[in-house]
Amino acid sequence: MTPQVKHFLETWHHAVEKRDADLLKAIMAEHCELHSPVVWKPSSDTRYILHILMGVISIVEDFSYRKQWVEGNELILEFTGTVDGKGLVGFDRITVDDAGKMTRIEVLMRPLNTLVEFAERMREHALRYKPEAANG
């Protein structure tokens, strides 16, 4: 694992645990791309992505990472949590550039019933940022 990836992971986990938007922003590359389980069209608006990431860690109760895989600058982080008492398992697939900044994040989740509840709550959260974001 490169020092940049190691630093990214340490900062990412700390930022998620502390719900620290400034730390997340510090490790995001300009024009980072988010591929969400809720909408088809990816977003590359850094401020919007930060808004969404903060929404995820506030909507998913007991959010925690339980495994990670690293291959070069590609990371897969497995997470668990609940949404309104329904359990979920998901994966963040993250690409980090040579400077240790996140350039891409793709999020996958299951099961469907929890994903539907999550999507409804995230849509409300996304609409607080900009209404057109939830229609993509």
Give the pLDDT confidence of 98-118 residue by residue, as tens digits. 999 999 999 999 999 888 888
- Strands ordered across the beta sheet of 102-110: 28-35, 102-110, 86-96, 74-83, 61-71
Q: What is the structure's pLDDT at 25? A: 93
Residues 44 and 114 sit within 8 Å (Cβ to Cβ): no
**Which residue range(s) make up the domain with 62?**
3-135
- Entry pTM: 0.84
Provide the pLDDT confidence category of residue 127 given band limits of 50, 70 and 90.
low
Give the pLDDT confidence of 39-91 residue by residue, as tens digits. 767 777 888 888 888 888 888 899 999 999 999 999 999 999 999 899 999 99
In terms of pLDDT, which residue wins out, 45 or 16?
A: 16
Number of domains in the chain: 1
Tell me the C-alpha distance between 91 and 18, whole Å.
20
Domain CATH for 15: 3.10.450.50
Residues 68, 70, 73: CA angle, nearest 5 degrees: 135
Tell me the C-alpha distance between 10 and 128, whole Å.
30
* Tokens at 7, concatenated: 């630093």
Neighbours of 136 (CB within 10 A): 12
